[in-house]
Amino acid sequence: MNHEFDAIAKLFQQRTPLQHPTTRIGNGDDASTHEIPQGFELVISTDTAVQGVHWPHNMGLDIAGNRAIQAALSDLAAMGAKPAWLWLSIMATNEHDLQQMSHGIVQACQQQAVELAGGDTVTSPTNAINVTVGGLIQKNKAMRRNNAVIDDDVWLFGDVGLSAAGLNQWLDGEHDGTFVPHFQDILPQLEQSQSLIDLAIKCCIDISDGLLQDAGHIAKASQVGIIINIENIKLLPSYAKLQHLGDEQVLKHILSGGEDYALLFTAPAKHQLTLSQLGAFKLGHCAQGSSVHLCYDGKTIDYNIKGFDHFA
């Protein structure tokens, strides 16, 4: 038997037997085939994670494998889709590294009940994982970046800033730091996104490059201004958890840290009570304009909006 195919069967196929009800041909053929139920649309996203860029060289490859899957699934959460399948292309420096990455990948597939429908492995000078995810959503229900409207409120599901704090602790050698798990253990807001779909929310994005930078994507796509109030930021649970860093560093982490995989969305004012009861946090509102502004005590303040840059 071909050694590569033997390794794939042992590390992945045998450990991820779950098959989605709509799958007709699954993992093990040249391609997979899937039936799309009537009244639904297929949602697809792809994401790549590279050692030394998206995770530190000295971090466990099992953790890296899990993070790669969870981060990719977060894109489906941002659209409101229910995850169904994923396809992998894994670049590994050696078989041991492949095996280590597989542990985290299998764990994520089992945790999120998603089918590993196919993929490929290849020897590479560096370790990297490309994940393509597919999900289903009812027709015309997908949340998009360009659906914010003036007078919508701006809301957040999930924590922001703690992942950046955890990465900083890791890079400083504090591998048992309080915030390190927030960087290592990504949990996409899948259940929360379904709550948004139930409320017919139209506009959402997941926060991967920083709160303000991703808010800017909504503002540009929707041609609205987004006003975020510092007073609201200071009420976030993550603000209290990071307060020992001092106000300037806390704001830097929360506003520009990135890799939070929280959901930033806009909603009509009529949903305020329901969203608060669901655990979402109101950050501000949409107004005239096409960019993001920070306000404190009713006045606009200057802030250098920077987030994660994949080419920096």
Q: Which residues pair with 86 in a beta bridge?
A: 116, 133
DSSP class of residue 223 equals T
Give the whole-angstrom CA distance, residue 67 versus residue 56: 12
The pLDDT value given to residue 310: 38
Q: Does residue 295 sit in the same domain as residue 171?
A: yes
Helix, strand, coil percentages for the chain (3-state, nearest 5): 40, 25, 35
Q: Give the total number of structural domains in the chain.
A: 2
* Domain assignment of residue 154, yes or no: yes
Give the ranges where 23-134 is alpha helix by DSSP (H).
Answer: 61-79, 95-112
Same domain, 130 and 150: no
Which amino acid is present at 27? N
Using the 3D structure, point to which of 91, 116, 138 is the last residue of a domain. Answer: 138
For residues 257 and 250, what is the distance between their CA atoms, to the nearest angstrom?
10
Same domain, 276 and 179: yes
pLDDT at residue 13 in the model: 61
The mean pLDDT value of the chain amounts to 92
- Contacts of residue 210, defined as CB under 8 A and 6 or more positions apart, other chains included, come to 255, 256, 257, 258, 305, 306, 307, 308
Q: Which domain holds residue 278?
A: 145-301
**CATH code for the domain of 210:** 3.90.650.10
The Cβ-side half-sphere exposure at 39, using a 13 Å CA radius, reads: 1
Both 19 and 104 in a single domain?
A: yes
The yes-or-no verdict on residue 12 having pLDDT over 80 is: no
Cα 33 from chain centre: 26
Alpha-carbon distance 165 to 239, whole Å?
12
> Are 201 and 66 contained in the same domain?
no
Q: Is 307 part of any domain?
A: no
Look at residue 312 and tell me whether its pLDDT is greater than 80: no
Percent of the chain with pLDDT over 90: 86
Residue 310 lies in a domain: no
Residue 260, domain member (yes or no): yes
Distance CA 70, CA 259 (A): 11
Whether residues 164 and 56 fall in one domain: no
Q: Quick one: 108 and 195 in the same domain? A: no
For the question of whether the overall pTM of this predicted structure is more than 0.75, the answer is yes
Cα–Cα distances in angstroms (integers) from residue 8 to residues 18, 23, 118, 277, in the given order: 16, 20, 10, 45
Judgement on whether residues 129 and 151 belong to the same structural domain of the protein = no
Residue with tokens 């506003």: 255
| 50-60 pLDDT, tens digit each | 999 999 999 99
CB-CB contact of 249 with 241 (8 Å): no
Claim to verify: residue 154 and residue 134 sit in the same structural domain: no
End-of-domain residue from the set 107, 138, 169: 138
pLDDT in tens, 83-125: 999 999 999 999 999 999 999 999 999 999 999 999 899 999 9
Q: In this structure, is residue 311 part of a structural domain?
A: no
Q: pLDDT class for 311, splitting at 50, 70, 90? A: very low
pLDDT digits (tens, 9 = 90+) for 136-170: 999 999 999 999 999 999 999 999 999 999 999 99
**Last residue within a domain, chosen from 92, 114, 138:** 138
pLDDT in tens, 171-227: 999 999 999 999 999 999 999 999 999 999 999 999 999 999 999 999 999 999 999
Residue 63's domain is classified under what CATH number?
3.30.1330.10
Assess whether 68 and 162 both reside in one domain.
no
Residue 224 and residue 125 share a domain: no
Quote the pLDDT of residue 306: 57
Pair 126, 235 in one domain: no
User: What distance in Å separates the CA atoms of residue 131 and residue 86, rounded to the nearest whole number?
Assistant: 7
The answer to whether residue 312 sits within a structural domain is no
Cβ(260)–Cβ(156) below 8 Å: no
Measured CA distances, 137 to 40, 84, 140, 145, 213 (Å):
5, 10, 8, 16, 27
